[in-house]
Amino acid sequence: MACEPFADLLHRFRQDRQHGASELARQALAWLGQSVAERAQVDDAVRQMLRDQISQLCALRPSMGVVAHLLQRWQYQLESFDPSANDVGALVAGANELSALSQQAVDGCVHHAHSLISPGYTLLTHSCSSTLMQLFSSLRETDCHIVICESRPLNEGVTVARQLNDWNIPCTLITDAQAGLYTAQADLVMVGADSLLGDGAVVNKVGTRLLALAAQRDHCPFYVVAESFKQRPPSADALILEQMDVAELNHDLPHEQMANTYFDITEADLISAWVDERGVHRQFSPVVW
Amino acid sequence: MACEPFADLLHRFRQDRQHGASELARQALAWLGQSVAERAQVDDAVRQMLRDQISQLCALRPSMGVVAHLLQRWQYQLESFDPSANDVGALVAGANELSALSQQAVDGCVHHAHSLISPGYTLLTHSCSSTLMQLFSSLRETDCHIVICESRPLNEGVTVARQLNDWNIPCTLITDAQAGLYTAQADLVMVGADSLLGDGAVVNKVGTRLLALAAQRDHCPFYVVAESFKQRPPSADALILEQMDVAELNHDLPHEQMANTYFDITEADLISAWVDERGVHRQFSPVVW
């Protein structure tokens, strides 16, 4: 099957509100691998084109550190590619390998996050993280209760509640504004991440910072579960918190009188521990670049 | 015109999401005054009936301290009523006077709150407070900008934005989850209150506590504007944070899997100052009962 046109991939990337950052990053790697596999040769012109495409993909969803991270890792391979040897297969394999490592890292996160949860716990979470969904699926019959913020404007929390319902996991959906009523009674807060910044601060769906402030106030542990691939590369462009279409708010108001910033930054001192594929870190543990 | 049946008043009280606590309290006083005015005599049986009605009105909207406060003040008059003198007119006048004092107190709050705002300020607010609406109406042509949280589930913030729009006051409506993005850039946060507790903690529309936590974190002053009549009487029943129908969340989920608590409590140490008809208090200033 021929590779999807790059413009189509970009369009999907821009519109996608369903898939998490890791899944989108793996889709981008798959596309790059397939695009290279279709070529007999990767010459300087192709490399320049690939560099441009990587740059465009990273710029499209700037809050998603894992996209920048995985594509940057693959670009290292691209830069050290020897055109005279022209081992195109190695580049393709590199993309596939990074994608597999990314999935393994998620599995590792889930394993370590699970160790923090005892039967009967009440967990509080925000938005929809594919990593946390994998974790929650392992909480069937543990008598845990999950409280989920709806996560306006598109209410990804409702999707989480429906899935938990299918799994017979007791859950309560709340408006984002109610988060401060639940941190005093929850055993812990767990959220995923779109990006981890160099100091351990976390970029995640907007509302996460308020939840973390309430958790700290109420002495409720606040855990961020995110594979190390979500650490933004030092070379990444300056962080921009994505603004989405204010029509998503669904209010009958002039558009210039609404704001729809999708992400916020939760400072490192609000975070009790970072959970990644290497374990549970009480101090932020940056990867080596 | 004959007095509205008490059951109808109760029904309106229970359903009302449009009027603030002060306005509802004044409506209750007007009803009690009119109900007494229609009687030739206030004997022990009538007094007992009025006590019961006051108790029911207070219990219906337990988060609204001003209802308990004003009705308690009127009940003091009722308890010291001398049946042999039978001066029914004094009881009616007492209800009207309390109602007028309540409105004067709101005017006083607005006056003192205004003194905290300089031209060009950015204000951040939550939900819809009739006291703050009166304040905002005085901010026309001051070049102030008002950021309003939508205040799920019924989005009273949208009503505020529309009114500001009619007044040509620049404003930005945000989801409740975005509050933590704005406290660092606003000059101050101002909210109304449904009740003030004995230690100065504030009961207000849910989401207020998260906003206060973010304001404290970002060194943004957090002001509560509420007339002293909003202080809950010491004799009030234990505080219950009202739960409303989860159908208001408008999600297709089993009802037992959603929660819709309408109010939260913002602790006194998160509040920079309390503004009431007596002035701006950096320490909470309880009224004498």
Q: SS3 for B129?
A: coil
- Chain A neighbors of B150, CB-CB under 8 A: 152, 249, 251
Q: How confident is the model at residue A262, as a pLDDT?
A: 94
The verdict on a CB contact (< 8 Å) between A260 and B165 is no
A196 burial (CB, 10 Å; 0-12 / 13-18 / 19+) is buried
Q: What is the pLDDT of residues B145-176, one digit of tens each?
A: 999 999 999 999 999 999 999 999 999 999 99
The verdict on a CB contact (< 8 Å) between A264 and B181 is yes
Asked if the model's pLDDT at residue B289 lies above 80, the reply is: no
B179–A contact, CB cutoff 8 A: yes
Give the rounded percent of residues in chain B with a pLDDT score beyond 90. 84
Answer whether CATH 3.40.50 is correct for domain B6-108: no
For residue A123, list its beta bridge partners: A146, A188
- Token pair of A64, please? 């998603």
Other C-beta atoms within 10 Å of A233: how many? Answer: 19
Q: What is the pLDDT of residues B13-50, one digit of tens each?
A: 988 877 888 889 999 999 999 999 998 889 999 999 99
Q: What is the pLDDT of residues A171-198, one digit of tens each?
A: 999 999 999 999 999 999 999 999 999 9
Which of B249, B252, B257 is the closest to A175 by Cβ?
A: B249
Q: SS3 for A128?
A: coil
- Chain B neighbors of A165, CB-CB under 8 A: 253-254, 257
Of the listed ranges A25-29, A35-39, B1-5, B6-10, the least confidently predicted one is B1-5
Q: How many residues in chain B?
A: 289
Cis peptide before A153 (omega within 30 of 0): yes
Q: How confident is the model at residue A40, as a pLDDT?
A: 82
B88–A contact, CB cutoff 8 A: no
B125 burial (CB, 10 Å; 0-12 / 13-18 / 19+) is buried
What SS3 string covers A234-273?
CCCCCCCCCECCHHHHCCCCCHHHECCECEEEECHHHCCE
B150–A contact, CB cutoff 8 A: yes
Catalytic residues of A: 194
Task: Provide φ and ψ at A48, rounded to 5°.
Answer: -65, -40
Weakly modelled stretches of chain A, pLDDT under 50: none
Rounded to 5°, the CA angle B17-B19-B21 comes to 100
Mean pLDDT of all residues belonging to chain B? 94
Q: How confident is the model at residue A1, as a pLDDT?
A: 65
For residue A276, list its beta bridge partners: A279
Nearest CA in chain A to B177: A207
The verdict on a CB contact (< 8 Å) between A162 and B253 is yes
B180–A contact, CB cutoff 8 A: yes
Asked if the model's pLDDT at residue B262 lies above 80, the reply is: yes
Averaged pLDDT for residues B175-190: 98
Averaged pLDDT for residues B236-261: 93
The domain locations on chain A are 6-108, 110-281
Contact, A270 vs A193, CB < 8 A?
no
A176–B contact, CB cutoff 8 A: yes
Q: In this prediction, does ipTM exceed 0.85? A: yes
The verdict on a CB contact (< 8 Å) between A264 and B214 is no
For residue A147, list its beta bridge partners: A124, A172
CATH architecture of B110-281: 3-Layer(aba) Sandwich (3.40)
The span from the CA of B165 to the CA of B80, in Å, is 49
> How close does chain B come to A179, measured CA to CA in Å?
8
* pLDDT range class, residue B286, cuts 50, 70, 90: very high
Buried-exposed string A100-125: b where 16+ CB fall within 10 A, e elsewhere: eebeebbebbbebbeebbeeebbbbb
B235–A contact, CB cutoff 8 A: no
Q: What is the pLDDT of residues A107-136, one digit of tens each?
A: 999 999 999 999 999 999 999 988 999 999
